A and B are shown apart, each in its own frame.
Chain A
Amino acid sequence: MSRTHQIKGLILQFIFIVGIGCSQVIRAGDLSFIVTDSKGKIAPNAVITLRPLIETDWSDLPIEVSVMKQKLAMFTPFVLAVRANTPVSFPNLDQFRHQVYSFSKAKQFKLRLYGMDESKKVTFDKAGVVALGCNIHDNMLAYIYVTDNPYFTQTNEEGEAVLEDVRSGEYELTVWHPDQKKRKVSYKANLIVGKEIDRHSISIKMRSIRRVQKLADPDGYLG
């Protein structure tokens, strides 16, 4: 299972193209995105964040508990984006044990979960990428993307994502993906919300092989 977590250089920022195909009617303050790789292949699990360029008080934005499940010896979801200081619960829905761990700089922890719906919470207080593994099931792999920014979303299986009710203002847009190529020229792309509200097509440079979480080995010796 491959995972590292150097965040440096991993966050790429991209130009987005404004105003492509405004056939749909979208409310002011709503943004929609579609992310693809450079060959036009859709990119699920891309995390899109907006950093406000003008300081604003965001403390009234609610923080909700997020969930990273373990079921059939797999993590769900594969990528989970959360705001810093969000507690994430780790319910083990399997009948057997999982030992969830991360040695990423953004958060190091070990959780022992006996199964049968046992759940423990971890609060992710530092921005960065946290790669998750299970010490018992080597196939298990997932990422928690922790951001300081008030607005974030991630692309679905169709490579699409939506951000609703974004306050008017100027933002810097970033995109992160577990399979992005490292050390590419990053862009600081500014976006003004409240004016030409639209649909953004974003193309990112990705590795030719995409990481997936494999199914558990049914014959695994030490389960």
Chain B
Amino acid sequence: MIKISFVLFLCFPAFLFANDSKFDTEIYLDARYTISKGEPSWVDNWLGKGRYGGELDGGRINKFRFSEIAVLTKFDINWDLKGFVYLKNDPEQGEPVDLVEAYVRYKPAPSSVIAYEIKAGLMFPHISRENIGVAWASPYTISPSAINSWVGEEIRVLGIEMKAKYQGDINDITLSAAIFGFNDPAGTLLAYRGWGIGDAKVGIQGELPLARLPSIGPNSTFLKQPNWVRPIREIDERAGYYLALDWTLYDFAQFGGLYYDNRGDPKAIEAGQYAWRTKFFNLYAELTLGLEIKVIAQYMQGSTKMGEEIFGGGRQVDVDYDAGFLLLSKQMGKFRASIRYDWFKVDDNTHILIDNNNEDGDALTLAFLMMVRGNASIIIEYLNIKSDRPAREDIGFESYQKNKTIQLAYRMRI
């Protein structure tokens, strides 16, 4: 709660001085029926790839679940300065309330061909092309792609972002730059769990479990890493940054890239959490074709390192990773059908036997959404993730696993 109070304290003083203010709060609910099978989920300290997995023997679990309740508040401090606060509760989080985003945004009406914008607070860097809905939900599927699932799980920045947007005749070009802190442990999941495909989001107090691998945890002599990670945390007092370029051609084609570097000091450790040096770039292309068909592609490539230097110049934990997806979606009135293919990979640059973080996998997602009365939707999703991860053998599973999930979600805004 201390962290939440701190961030809200940063955002709210401006509000107190506003005489032209307006509040707009809505509640978001997500309830589901899930059928899942395969290895148990990473959320339960195993190495299953989905938010929901099967029994220990891989058997099927059928369950009604509540997945998220969120309170989202927008407030106009004045005509040019606005704020946004997103609080949530989900069964995976430890605290009853957690903060996903809280920022203020200064966006004066442009007086020339270049428009400026400044955003400050706790926020997602604009990486995901899928999570464009309220409560960072995707209108295409229940489970975001591997890339954007990871963004939801570990990437959040507390910082300042500046944007300059050139509004041309047929083109818009936006340049963004941000300086941030509080994202030092990001990368931990990609090393110890690898990629995942699920829509559980971390909040500022969030603590995510790691499998009971021999290289980590209380019995490990190799690292001081416990079986959990708190991704939104400052450890080394070093600021990170990201830079992005986005190009919109008319309204039908969008392309862009973002480069992120948390500038973590890989040796820094505080309260059992390392500052991982995590860098990546993300590229995307999005086309809106005729017949209300949308095509979205994203590709991410990066590295993360932590611990002491070892022979050959690497670090104790030192991996490269990449992932991509191609999504096709078609709107048909109040219905939307989507299909997505994901592929993902982690390359361990060290050859330490007890810490093999290699991984290779792909996934197919099919989803069908129906709008109900404008403020609610029902989505059914089939997700099939296949992956090979040798570290599974350390915890008694076969290296190659399939996770299959069918989910029926009811999402509502009040």
Contact = CB atoms under 8 A, between A and B. Distances in A.
Nearest to A223: B74
Contact of A209 (B84, B111, B250): B250
Contacts of A103: 110-113
A54 interface: no
A6 B169 CA distance: 9
Given A97-B76, A112-B79, A222 B111 contact: no
Contact of A2 (B105, B110, B112, B169): B169
Interface string A1-27: 111101000000000000000000000
A1 B74 CA distance: 23
B16 interface: no
B248 A2 contact: yes
A40 B335 CA distance: 34
Interface centre among A133, A218, A223 (most CB of B within 10 A): A218
A219 B79 contact: no
A11 to B, nearest CB: 15
B218 interface: no
Interface in A100-157: 101, 103, 108, 110, 112, 133, 135
A64 B284 CA distance: 49
Contacts of B107: 135
B112 A1 contact: no
Contact of A99 (B105, B109, B133, B170): B109
Contact of A221 (B74, B172, B252): B74
Contacts of B248: 2
B41 to A, nearest CB: 28
A204 B248 CA distance: 26
A108 B113 CA distance: 12
B251 A214 contact: yes
Contact of A222 (B84, B108, B133): B84
Contact of B109 (A1, A3, A101, A221): A101
A2 B252 contact: no
Contacts of B109: 99, 101, 110, 135
Contacts of B108: 135
Contacts of B94: none
Contact of B111 (A108, A212, A218): A108
Nearest to B170: A2
B74 A222 contact: yes
A222 B169 contact: no
B9 to A, nearest CB: 21
Main secondary structure of the interface of B (DSSP, over half): loop
A211 interface: yes
A133 B167 CA distance: 11
Nearest to B413: A219
Contacts of A218: 374
Interface string B108-144: 1111110000000000000000001110000100000
Given A2-B250, A3-B169, A112-B79, A223 B111 contact: no
Given A101-B110, A103-B112, A223-B74, A2 B167 contact: yes
A50 to B, nearest CB: 27
Nearest to A219: B133
B334 to A, nearest CB: 12
Nearest to B136: A221
A2 B24 contact: no
A221 B76 CA distance: 12
B171 interface: yes
Contact of B167 (A3, A182, A221): A3
A207 interface: yes
Contacts of A214: 251
Nearest to B248: A2
Interface string B37-58: 0000000000000000000000
A99 B76 CA distance: 13
A4 B168 CA distance: 6
Given A1-B167, A2-B167, A222 B110 contact: no
Interface string B169-183: 111100000000000
A75 B158 CA distance: 36
Nearest to A100: B109
Interface string A35-67: 000000000000000000000000000000000
A41 B364 CA distance: 41
Contacts of B112: 103
Interface centre among A3, A218, A219, A222 (most CB of B within 10 A): A222
Contacts of B374: 218
Given A2-B171, A133-B110, A209-B250, 20 more contacts: A1-B167, A1-B172, A3-B167, A99-B109, A103-B112, A110-B109, A135-B79, A135-B80, A135-B109, A182-B169, A207-B170, A209-B252, A211-B250, A214-B251, A219-B132, A219-B134, A221-B74, A222-B82, A223-B24, A223-B74
Which 5 residue pairs spanning A and B have beta carbons closest together?
A101-B109, A135-B109, A219-B133, A4-B169, A110-B109
7 contacts: A2-B171, A97-B22, A99-B79, A135-B80, A219-B133, A222-B84, A222-B105
